[in-house]
Amino acid sequence: MGLILFLGSQSRVVDFEVLEQPIVAPAGVPRPTTPVETARPKPATPESKRAVFGRNRKSLVSESESAAAIKEGNTLAKAQDDRALRPGDAEELPIPVEEYLVSSMPRPLREFRIPYPPGAKKKGVEGAVVMDILIDAKGEVRKADLVEGPLEELSRAALEAILKFKFAPAEAEGRPVAVRIRYVYRFILEK
């Protein structure tokens, strides 16, 4: 069988074979490894995550909203765990909606001006600090990640300031939703 590949203005015929019923090796026969497979690095072991057995976003919810959520699995085998989520736990942060589903993006309602960092002011450094921020459905900034900044001192100050901002939340289908956006905080020296 052949397949024609079009690569820009060039085309090339590539031969291939379709196997309807692949042959399976009997159990106990080791699969041969290729040099590429042996050179491939082993996947990193995931960080140990703290198990939370209370109510979280992985809980199962019944049809009615008023019913209590119960974690999937045999919850009767363990004593009830009433530990609350800590800030930074993955389940604690809202899941942002994809940008293409958002009908109106968040707008700043309250900004926070942090004092110009003295070290940067003394050096005469100014510029923009670019951050990726997670805004929840209430308009609160829940997480801020630095993308780039002109100076570490300015970057720290901008990350501290952005957490004090308040936004009108993003909306999707007429309801407030969490969203991740890129935000620029500018430092300009007054002359």
Global pTM exceeds 0.85: no
Residue 70: inside a domain, yes or no? Answer: yes
**What mean pLDDT do residues 33-62 have?**
55
Say if residue 123 is in the same domain as residue 103.
yes
Say if residue 113 is in the same domain as residue 170.
yes
Question: pLDDT class for 157, splitting at 50, 70, 90?
Answer: very high
Residue 41: inside a domain, yes or no? Answer: no
User: Which residue blocks in 82-151 are alpha helix, DSSP H?
Assistant: 118-123
Say if residue 87 is in the same domain as residue 110.
no
Length of the chain: 191
90 pLDDT more than 70:
no
| SS3 label, residue 115 | coil
Say if residue 64 is in the same domain as residue 76.
yes
pLDDT, position 171 = 95
Say if residue 58 is in the same domain as residue 75.
yes
Nearest CA-CA partner of 126 in 86, 99, 158:
158
Question: Which tens digit of pLDDT belongs to each residue from 110-119?
Answer: 999 999 999 9
Q: Rounded distance, CA 181 to CA 168, Å?
A: 13
Last residue of a domain, one of 92, 123, 157: 92
pLDDT, position 4 = 63
Decide: residue 31, CB within 10 A, 0-12 exposed, 13-18 middle, 19+ buried. exposed
Say if residue 76 is in the same domain as residue 157.
no
Say if residue 98 is in the same domain as residue 85.
no
Say if residue 60 is in the same domain as residue 100.
no
Residue 157: inside a domain, yes or no? Answer: yes
Question: pLDDT class for 134, splitting at 50, 70, 90?
Answer: very high
CATH number of the domain where residue 107 is located: 3.30.2420.10
Domain ranges, residue 124 = 93-187
Say if residue 137 is in the same domain as residue 165.
yes
Q: How far is CA 6 from the centre of its chain?
A: 36
- 51 within 8 A of 89, measured Cβ to Cβ: no
- 109 within 8 A of 167, measured Cβ to Cβ: yes
Question: pLDDT class for 50, splitting at 50, 70, 90?
Answer: low
- Reported as type and span, the H/E element at residue 21 is none
- 131 within 8 A of 185, measured Cβ to Cβ: yes
Spatial strand order in the sheet of 127-135:
141-148, 127-135, 179-187
Residue 38: inside a domain, yes or no? Answer: no
Nearest CA-CA partner of 117 in 161, 163, 147:
161
In total, how many domains does the chain have? 2
Average pLDDT, the chain: 76
Say if residue 79 is in the same domain as residue 127.
no
- Reported as type and span, the H/E element at residue 101 is none
135 pLDDT more than 90:
yes
Task: List CB contacts of 14: < 8 A, sequence separation 6 or more.
Answer: 2, 3, 4, 5
